[in-house]
């Protein structure tokens, strides 16, 4: 869901560089440590879809407003509440949030997307 660096206290994009003389074991230990400290607790807390929806609704997740714009309606659809997603897209955005042309297309496609198709796709993945 989020780039690992945005789960850390510094809240910034993070990448790891590997050069020919990189201590691969040390670098991998560092990455695994970051996953244990930040990613694992994050995914453990939000493994329940309803909890993830609640966090987006309360703006508890500091992973950017665009994530809320795109993810919250999809999560509503996953739990069978597509209309709630449409309402959010039409009325729930913060007043200063600017919807660009790409986002407007997303809203239109979301409204047209049949919920049954999503349920069908989810059943195939299990």
Q: How many beta carbons lie within 10 A of that of residue 32, not counting itself?
A: 11
Q: Is 92 buried (19+), middle (13-18) or exposed (0-12) by CB count in 10 A? A: middle
Of 93 and 107, the structure prediction assigns the larger pLDDT to 107
pLDDT in tens, 30-89: 889 999 998 899 889 888 999 999 998 888 876 666 778 888 898 998 898 999 998 888
Report residue 21 as tokens: 């003389």
Cβ–Cβ < 8 Å for 72, 85: yes
- Which pLDDT does position 30 carry in this prediction? 87
pLDDT in tens, 110-126: 889 887 777 676 666 54
Cβ–Cβ < 8 Å for 93, 70: no
């Amino acid at each position: 869901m989020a780039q690992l660096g945005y789960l850390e206290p510094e809240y910034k994009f993070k990448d790891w560089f590997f050069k020919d003389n990189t201590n691969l074991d040390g670098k991998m230990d560092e990455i695994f440590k970051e996953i244990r400290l930040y990613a694992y607790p994050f995914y453990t807390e939000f493994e329940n879809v309803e909890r993830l929806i609640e966090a987006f609704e309360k703006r508890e997740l500091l992973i950017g407003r665009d994530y809320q714009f795109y993810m919250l309606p999809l999560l509503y659809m996953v739990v069978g509440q597509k209309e709630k997603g449409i309402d959010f897209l039409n009325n729930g955005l913060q007043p200063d949030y600017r919807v660009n042309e790409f986002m407007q297309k997303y809203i239109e496609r979301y409204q047209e997307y049949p919920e049954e198709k999503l349920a069908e796709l989810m059943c195939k993945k299990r």
